[in-house]
Structure 1
């Protein structure tokens, strides 16, 4: 099997004042929190958003592992809907050091390029900064961070930078080139 060079960029915000919100795409797009953790729904979002951009790390998780991940205090999933249809999501994962990682963020393929991503990221970042208001047992957010890589969508990095994220680390590695699983792995 051949190898590829994978570049991973880590970005952060250290103040809520750094967020530069994107304009909402229109009244047909709404964003709400999935308040009841659902491994089936989260797996659907993960596979559907990440299928064509090589998200594979969670595909082998058992249902129990999904339940464990989603049930941790402060983990939140915010979903964008276009006229009732899921269009994308952002998953927030609070850390013990006051950081909140944007663990996963993206849009289903048919919803890309429609100005939904900037708005969804803006809402997700704002919710990361206010996470302790909804989870009093968590300490106040001091940092919001994420990582993206050279296999992510072509507009991902630009969206992060436009929202106010700053680059703090770049890493490169060699990785086995794997076929793109698509939204229906094994199909």
Structure 2
């Protein structure tokens, strides 16, 4: 099965659309201390069910070098427990790329995704306020694909992102077989009271 990749963008702060409040109490906090261990945990815990495999081979030094590029990570917490995160990095021409966004399996379907994406995108737009000397953001962009959560594209569009390019490619070897989960042997995961994982519907409004 071919993989479709959608590239989306906002070209004005006014493009960002407000999400409805989450169904549970959520605090969104920036992880200000560079921690390869924490960033790797977030990446595997959120992306393990969606074939996020490109960073699995990274060494500690590779993670540290990546995070030193003014990468910002904003984490959503519920009662002290991580529920999801947004990661973005500044690039050329005052553009900011949202490089990672997603929820922990237990948090899917609780109305957190739209709110987290709204807050994370707003922080991408005001990135220069936290980095003196950096040019104000003029564009925020990201990409998602047909192997990601089935509600990802709708969530991005609901927050005001517009598709500007679409590509269809044959999947690579890394997409063969089941998703790896957060660690070898984890398999599909859910907790009591949580929707099934993966693919649980979430409200993109």
Write the distance in 1 (CA, Å) between the matches of 2:55 and 2:95: 22
Q: Tell me if the contact between 2:86 and 2:98 (Cα under 8 Å) persists in the aligned partners.
A: yes
Aligned to 2:130: 134
Aligned to 2:67: 70
Aligned to 1:38: 35
Aligned to 2:18: 21
Aligned to 2:181: 182
| Structure with higher strand content | 1
Which residues in structure 2 correspond to 1:137-148 (within 5 Å)? 137-148=133-144
Write the distance in 2 (CA, Å) between the matches of 1:71 and 1:83: 29
Write the distance in 2 (CA, Å) between the matches of 1:50 and 1:27: 22
2:39 alignment partner, SS class: helix
Q: Tell me if the contact between 2:9 and 2:162 (Cα under 8 Å) persists in the aligned partners.
A: yes
- Summarize deviations over 1:26-65 as a string: whole Å, max 9, x none: 5621100000011100000000000010000001000000
Aligned to 1:81: 77
1:52 alignment partner, SS class: helix
Write the distance in 2 (CA, Å) between the matches of 1:98 and 1:45: 26
> TM-score scaled to structure 2, two decimals?
0.86
Q: Which of structure 1's runs of 4+ aligned residues deviate more than 2 A?
A: none
- Residue 138 of structure 1 deviates from its aligned partner by 1.8
Write the distance in 1 (CA, Å) between the matches of 2:45 and 2:55: 12
- Summarize deviations over 1:67-121 as a string: whole Å, max 9, x none: 0001113x10000001110010000111021100000000011101111000000
Query: Is 2:150 aligned against 1:150?
Result: no
Q: Tell me if the contact between 2:89 and 2:98 (Cα under 8 Å) persists in the aligned partners.
A: yes
Q: Where do 5+ consecutive residues of structure 1 fail to align?
A: none
- Summarize deviations over 1:127-177 as a string: whole Å, max 9, x none: 000000001132110000000000010110110000000000000000134
Matched residue count: 183
Structure number with the bigger relative contact order (C-alpha 8 A, sep ≥ 6) is 1
Write the distance in 2 (CA, Å) between the matches of 1:27 and 1:109: 15
Aligned to 1:110: 106
Write the distance in 2 (CA, Å) between the matches of 1:26 and 1:134: 30
Write the distance in 2 (CA, Å) between the matches of 1:105 and 1:27: 19
Aligned to 2:199: none
Q: Tell me if the contact between 2:23 and 2:110 (Cα under 8 Å) persists in the aligned partners.
A: no
Q: CA RMSD in A?
A: 1.2
